[in-house]
A and B are shown apart, each in its own frame.
Chain A
Amino acid sequence: MTAVEPQLPAPDLVAVQDGTTATTAVKGHSRIPWRFLGGRALFYLFTLWAAITINFFLPRMMKGDAVTQYLARNRNVSPEAADALRSLLGLDTDKSLLQQYIDYWALLLQGDLGVSLLHGLRPVTEVISQALPWTIGLVGFATLVAFAIGTIGGAIVGWRRGSRLDALVPITTFLSTIPYFWLGLLAIAVFSVNLGWFPIGKAYGVGMSPEWSFEFVGQVIHHGFLPATTIIIASLGGWMLGMRNMMLTVLDEDYVMVAQAKGMPNSRVLWGYAARNAVLPQIQSFALSIGFIVGGTIVMEMVFSYPGVGKLLLDATNAKDYALMQGVFLVITLSVLLANLLADVAYAFLDPRTRQTEA
């Protein structure tokens, strides 16, 4: 019987017009997954809108007298600033709700978040922009280090399953169930009060002002060591556990066995194959945990009197400086969303599957 060639391209859902998914992936060399990123950006815009709307409604749900009293106590506010504050804090009840909402957005888009009564009537945006770099520096550095150590450590612990390294997992998990602030307080008690190795708080010594000098940078590092280390130790457990569990699942997969059978050196299998695939969910959970990290940092700043946005928020809360509170919340939310978007971009480049759905 002659071999008749049946006309059958493999009927794959995705490949209806273009051929197989393999050919599509080969065609584009590092195609930017616009659709995927576009969808994510759209979601973040929606979340930002939701956060701003929440911020709009919050003061309007409070008992109004608190805010009125607050404004009444501070008479030195200029008329424009007073108008802005009224709009931000929900006092402009003479207008319709829709009009209030529109005016609120108008203020935000102009970058006007009101003035901070706690900080001598300086614009809220100015106050926040002074504090923000400290927070980003501290939490960014600490989180990246914790993520790196935790992920690499988790990969090694997963690889060497059954060895004594397994004991690391419950230890780091225990450390991560301890509340941040208590760990920080303990660190101060031990290392600052008793041993005197580190200063008790603040970002730099009293009497210094920020400048780019070796002495200043040295002080920053000296003061920042304890807070950073505390954050790292407290959050290490989560990363390590997640990575280890993913490694265990990945190491059972057939492609790892094939790689080993081909004679690939163990280190290459571990890092190039297994860890590379196990790290993908880690990046996703990194994005999701940014919100939690922010929470922990706020507390850390209070414990160490670190001059970041967290401490700003807490001082504002205690002083009932509502404009500053709202402003900080918005800025924090915006930063979290941006960080999420960056994590999504990183994920999109690392996971080729996101590019495939572009077909």
Chain B
Amino acid sequence: MTVLEFDAVTKIYSVRGAGQMKALDDVSFRLESGRTIGLVGQSGSGKSTIAKILTQLETPTSGEVRLDGQPIPRRGKGLRAYRQQLRMVFQDPFASLNPYHSIRYHIARPLRLDNVVPRDQVDDEVRRLLERVRLDSNAIIDRRPHELSGGQRQRVAIARALASRPKILVADEPVSMLDVSIRVGVLNLLADLQREEGLGVLYITHDLATARHFSDEIMVLNQGRVIEHGPADEVILRPQNPYTQELRAASPDPDNHFAPATGTFGGAL
């Protein structure tokens, strides 16, 4: 079992001319493979900062991130090994793929970079990964991203993330830019993959409903601080913190057509 530990991490950005900005304040959590943590919060609450720190695009100001008990190395082979274990699916399916490269290239590249399979098996592995995300590999393998729909692109992004056989998957709002009608399909795909591969998934979202549907635990983030953390159903059905209660009240209730959404968020989150 792989364990990712986020230990009392604080991240402070200095903004030129405007002082400092605390993006994360003493955030801690523990993600084990096979489980999903839903990370919920408004825009600007620090969710993406956590994702950036996990993928080494940013470094914490204080606190530590550990994988299997080892702090994340800053460079060299250790960093490379860490990167292989933790992959990210980005929010924007239109921007996360390079418009100039074919789908084949997008998926083969991490295979080659990390030497996941021997050279001659790369092509087969690419097709296998595409089939796993339920895409017709023959039809799309030589296409460019702009020839695919949003849902297809996001599936390619998932396949790319799975290429290096990671143990932890960070999904940063993977469906918020997709049509509502296809969100469930992609989320179910993620759930199936998680189960089959035994992944630990950090599912970052602002959507409480899908967070509950998809996660074992939910963590609510507000202005960089974790204000509530518990089993999914507990946090949604019996929220303790007033902010969480507000969030829940702001979500539209499909069973309750005529009750207006209350709270200062109005009807939209």
Decide if A10 is an interface residue (CB 8 Å cutoff): yes
Decide if A1 is an interface residue (CB 8 Å cutoff): yes
Digitize A23-41: 1 where CB-to-B-CB distance is under 8 Å, 0 elsewhere: 0000000000001000000
Decide if B69 is an interface residue (CB 8 Å cutoff): no
Decide if B263 is an interface residue (CB 8 Å cutoff): yes
Are A16 and B20 neighbours in the complex by a CB distance under 8 Å? yes
Are B245 and A4 neighbours in the complex by a CB distance under 8 Å? yes
Decide if B254 is an interface residue (CB 8 Å cutoff): no
Are A13 and B15 neighbours in the complex by a CB distance under 8 Å? yes
Closest chain B residue to A12, Cβ basis? B44
Prevailing SS type, chain A contact patch: loop
Digitize A328-344: 1 where CB-to-B-CB distance is under 8 Å, 0 elsewhere: 00000000000000000
A314 to chain B, nearest CB (A): 46
Please report which residues of chain A, range 69-97, place their CB below 8 angstroms from some CB of chain B when the two chains form the complex.
none
Query: Which chain B residues border A35 with CB–CB below 8 Å?
Result: 17
Are A16 and B44 neighbours in the complex by a CB distance under 8 Å? no
Are B246 and A6 neighbours in the complex by a CB distance under 8 Å? yes
Query: Which chain A residues border B118 with CB–CB below 8 Å?
Result: none
Are A5 and B17 neighbours in the complex by a CB distance under 8 Å? no
Decide if B243 is an interface residue (CB 8 Å cutoff): yes
Are A6 and B262 neighbours in the complex by a CB distance under 8 Å? no
Are A16 and B15 neighbours in the complex by a CB distance under 8 Å? yes
Are A357 and B17 neighbours in the complex by a CB distance under 8 Å? yes
Q: Given A10-B44, A11-B44, A13-B15, A1 and B20 touching (CB < 8 A)?
A: no
Please measure, in the bound complex, the distance between the C-alpha atom of A209 and the C-alpha atom of B50, giving whole angstroms.
77
Query: Which chain A residues border B245 with CB–CB below 8 Å?
Result: 1, 4
Are A17 and B19 neighbours in the complex by a CB distance under 8 Å? yes
Decide if B1 is an interface residue (CB 8 Å cutoff): no
Tally B residues with Cβ within 8 Å of A: 20
Please measure, in the bound complex, the distance between the C-alpha atom of A288 and the C-alpha atom of B209, giving whole angstroms.
53
Decide if B113 is an interface residue (CB 8 Å cutoff): no
Digitize A320-359: 1 where CB-to-B-CB distance is under 8 Å, 0 elsewhere: 0000000000000000000000000000000000000111
Are A8 and B222 neighbours in the complex by a CB distance under 8 Å? yes
Decide if B76 is an interface residue (CB 8 Å cutoff): no
Decide if A261 is an interface residue (CB 8 Å cutoff): no
Decide if A14 is an interface residue (CB 8 Å cutoff): yes
Instruction: Name the contact of B17 in the complex, choosing from A1, A4, A6, A359 (C-beta under 8 A).
Output: A359
Decide if A3 is an interface residue (CB 8 Å cutoff): yes
Are A16 and B19 neighbours in the complex by a CB distance under 8 Å? yes
Prevailing SS type, chain B contact patch: mixed
Are A3 and B264 neighbours in the complex by a CB distance under 8 Å? yes
Are A6 and B19 neighbours in the complex by a CB distance under 8 Å? no
- Point out which of A1, A15, A35, A359 has the most chain B C-beta atoms below 10 A from its C-beta: A1
Please measure, in the bound complex, the distance between the C-alpha atom of A35 and the C-alpha atom of B243, giving whole angstroms.
39
B35 to chain A, nearest CB (A): 29
Closest chain A residue to B223, Cβ basis? A11
Q: Given A4-B242, A6-B264, A14 and B15 touching (CB < 8 A)?
A: yes
Decide if B21 is an interface residue (CB 8 Å cutoff): yes
Are B18 and A359 neighbours in the complex by a CB distance under 8 Å? yes
Instruction: Name the contact of A13 in the complex, choosing from B18, B222, B242, B243 (C-beta under 8 A).
Output: B18
Digitize B35-57: 1 where CB-to-A-CB distance is under 8 Å, 0 elsewhere: 00000001011000000000000
Please report which residues of chain B, range 1-35, place their CB below 8 angstroms from some CB of chain A when the two chains form the complex.
13, 15, 17-21
Closest chain B residue to A357, Cβ basis? B17
Closest chain B residue to A15, Cβ basis? B18
Are A1 and B19 neighbours in the complex by a CB distance under 8 Å? no
Query: Which chain A residues border B44 with CB–CB below 8 Å?
Result: 10-12
Are B264 and A13 neighbours in the complex by a CB distance under 8 Å? no
Query: Which chain B residues border A13 with CB–CB below 8 Å?
Result: 13, 15, 18, 21
Decide if B249 is an interface residue (CB 8 Å cutoff): yes
B267 to chain A, nearest CB (A): 14
Query: Which chain B residues border A12 with CB–CB below 8 Å?
Result: 44
Closest chain A residue to B246, Cβ basis? A6
Instruction: Name the contact of B249 in the complex, choosing from A1, A357, A359 (C-beta under 8 A).
Output: A1
Please measure, in the bound complex, the distance between the C-alpha atom of A10 and the C-alpha atom of B21, giving whole angstroms.
13
Please measure, in the bound complex, the distance between the C-alpha atom of A10 and the C-alpha atom of B168, giving whole angstroms.
31
Query: Which chain A residues border B19 with CB–CB below 8 Å?
Result: 16-17
Closest 3 pairs (CB-CB, A-B): A11-B44, A4-B242, A6-B243
- In addition to A5-B264, A14-B18, 13 A-B residue pairs with Cβ atoms within 8 Å of each other are A1-B262, A3-B264, A4-B242, A4-B245, A4-B263, A6-B264, A8-B223, A10-B44, A11-B44, A11-B45, A15-B18, A16-B15, A16-B20
**12 cross-chain CB contacts under 8 A:** A1-B262, A4-B245, A6-B243, A11-B21, A12-B44, A13-B13, A13-B15, A16-B20, A17-B19, A35-B17, A358-B17, A359-B18
